[in-house]
Structure 1
Amino acid sequence: MGKGRTLEWAARASHLYGIPRRLIITSVGAFAKAVVTLFNTTTVHNGDNRLHLVRSRPPGVPLLTVSNHMSTLDDPLMWGFKDFPITDPKLARWLHTFPEGKVSQEDGPIRRLKWGTASLITRAPVTPIVLPIFHHGFHQVMPEDFLFGRRPPFPLINKHIKIIVGEPIEFDLPGLRKIALLESHNESEPRLGWPRIARHGLDEVAQRYLYSNISEKIQTVLESLRQYGNSISKQRD
């Protein structure tokens, strides 16, 4: 088989003076805002926290947002609420992950998280600000089993969407690394041949300790936001 082509131009923001990039970002942003603010009702709690971190975080400090995953349209719809700079390619630069690893439309506790997000936090040259977000309602806008086991061709309307932004999660990475290095001396721990993280000297056992602890903390925070959201709903009822 021949080698696939590498579309290097697609990675350049300056391609065709940035016009295609701006058109796509603007179009997707307009679609998200229409679905979230015009065709459905959206309530955002503590949204200023997210706006501030996107617009005004310290130079050089990355932002990592994490959330539950309830539909295939979570991203970009969850960024379409009023006044969020989704159409500004300069302001809206950060990384968002769904650490659950897949869509779950069960209205239940946050599931055990995959370790990919924890790996990103551990390996980042500069520790990112980690902002947790819980949302509810996108599973009604784009249900997985709408008609004959399929999703609807278009987002549904007249649904209520709830977005709760938490406080940044703090991690004592230097302290966790010290404990992780001590754990690496435990010969009873299984080893599967993971490559070592050279910058911190973390072997496989140390990495598993770090990823597990970081993931559990994120899961706990997301679950607390979920429970807070449930309490808000009960008060309204």
Structure 2
Amino acid sequence: MNKQILWMYRGRELVTNSHSLVPCSSRSFGSFLFGKVRILRFNRWLQRRETGTQVDKAAALEGFRFPWPFPEKPSRFYNMVSYLTLGTVASVSKLLFVRVANELVVHNKERFMNIWMDRSRPLITISNHRSNIDDPLMWSFITTPEMCRNIDRHRYTLAAHNICFTKPLHTRFFSLGRCVPCVRGEGVYQKGMDFCVDKLNENGWVHMFPEGRVTMEPLRFKWGVGRLVEDTVIPPVILPIWCTNMSSVWPIDPPYYPRFGHRVDIHIGEVLDSKVILDELSVKNGWSVAKRRKFITDVLQTELFKLGEAVGNLTKGDRRSFDAQIVHFRFFL
């Protein structure tokens, strides 16, 4: 007698039963194998569901396993391939926001464009993180001509090493798309952070998700953004951005595929001048490096969560603005 595996989902437990079938060797054996495959796929789905994102394919403590993917002096050919990768990813992202798919509305776009095209100072953008692919989807409001004119100043962004950099091919692709490996747990002085500081010192643009992971609730900012502000030679311009409803276009839970018929709003906040923050720190003579970094991080956290409250996507009082009382000054350009 052959057996067929039945499965059902009860309280995150896979229940299997068996019952007799009419003997039919080839068909029953095929059904048996098919059932085994379904169970394996189901268990993987449960594992992804527990993390709320993609399965970590490398141990978190293993670190970045490949040679550093960014050349010290990029050749013309490397830059050309990198620009082609950035342009291709941007074009594919725009497909999710064509007329019959989803609607993308950007607020205060001219503010972003003015800062992006001003190459006299480095630029740091910070935003909430509500979808696995907020970046690159959030930059779909940049038109193709605008992208082509300023592609050499397109953003660098930190990406989890155990999600985006698990294979040599993935490492090559994401690095050409200006994603920088970030190893959780290695602190603010890891190589990826050093690389971002170098790019800011070249008056480049670095985008960060300071909450550190995809989350539907506000989280305390990681201190890496504080290091970027303090260690850059020229005080950077900081631009907070708040994205709403992005997870309805690309969900955070499996199955991972695009959804249609939704509206996504991108809110560009007020431009912040980090020079004012650093001037405030200059009178704090007895403060340690860690305390200074925490001060900067708390200021930026407060400003981004205020933007979330202003657009109505974050309930007032839920932003967990730790030590927000230290910030009572305005520092807009």
Q: TM-score, normalised by structure 2?
A: 0.53
Letter in 1 for 2:91: A
Kindly indicate whether the alpha-carbon contact (under 8 Å) linking 1:36 and 1:77 is maintained by their aligned counterparts in 2.
no
Could you say if the C-alpha distance between residues 178 and 136 of structure 1 is closer, same or farther in structure 2, counting changes exceeding 3 Å? same
Shift of 1:42: 1.3
Shift of 1:174: 2.9
**2:296 paired with 1:214:** yes
Listed as ranges, the gaps of 5+ residues in structure 2 are 1-64, 156-204, 314-333
Could you say if the C-alpha distance between residues 19 and 182 of structure 1 is closer, same or farther in structure 2, counting changes exceeding 3 Å? closer
Q: Deviations over 1:53-112 (max 9, x none)?
A: 111x252x10110011111111111111153734542243511011001111x2x4x321
Shift of 1:142: 1.6
Q: Deviations over 1:147-182 (max 9, x none)?
A: xxx241x32221110111011123320331331x32
Between the aligned residues of both structures, percent identity stands at 27
Q: Quick one: which of 95, 105, 117 aligns to 2:206?
A: 95
Q: Partners in 2 of 1:67 and 1:7 — Cα distance?
A: 26
Q: Quick one: which of 237, 243, 263 aligns to 1:160?
A: 263
Q: Partners in 1 of 2:68 and 2:153 — Cα distance?
A: 28
Shift of 1:5: 5.1
SS in 2 for 1:35: helix
Shift of 1:28: 0.6
**Residue of structure 1 equivalent to 2:81:** 20
Listed as ranges, the gaps of 5+ residues in structure 1 are 184-205, 232-237
**Residue of structure 2 equivalent to 1:53:** 115
Q: Partners in 1 of 2:73 and 2:97 — Cα distance?
A: 29
**Residue of structure 2 equivalent to 1:203:** none
Q: Partners in 2 of 1:71 and 1:13 — Cα distance?
A: 34
Could you say if the C-alpha distance between residues 160 and 11 of structure 1 is closer, same or farther in structure 2, counting changes exceeding 3 Å? farther
**Residue of structure 1 equivalent to 2:90:** 29
Letter in 2 for 1:177: S
Higher relative contact order, structure no. (Cα contacts within 8 Å, ≥ 6 residues apart): 1
Q: Partners in 1 of 2:245 and 2:70 — Cα distance?
A: 38
**Residue of structure 2 equivalent to 1:188:** none
Shift of 1:48: 0.9
Could you say if the C-alpha distance between residues 37 and 166 of structure 1 is closer, same or farther in structure 2, counting changes exceeding 3 Å? farther
Kindly indicate whether the alpha-carbon contact (under 8 Å) linking 2:236 and 2:273 is maintained by their aligned counterparts in 1.
no
Q: Partners in 2 of 1:8 and 1:99 — Cα distance?
A: 23
Instruction: Give the number of the structure whose alpha-carbon radius of gyration is greater.
Output: 2
Q: Partners in 1 of 2:296 and 2:228 — Cα distance?
A: 11
Kindly indicate whether the alpha-carbon contact (under 8 Å) linking 1:37 and 1:81 is maintained by their aligned counterparts in 2.
no
Q: Partners in 2 of 1:9 and 1:208 — Cα distance?
A: 31
SS in 2 for 1:111: coil
SS in 2 for 1:49: helix
Q: TM-score, normalised by structure 1?
A: 0.73
**2:249 paired with 1:141:** yes
Letter in 2 for 1:96: H
Could you say if the C-alpha distance between residues 129 and 151 of structure 1 is closer, same or farther in structure 2, counting changes exceeding 3 Å? farther
Letter in 2 for 1:221: E
Letter in 2 for 1:117: V
Q: Partners in 2 of 1:151 and 1:129 — Cα distance?
A: 38
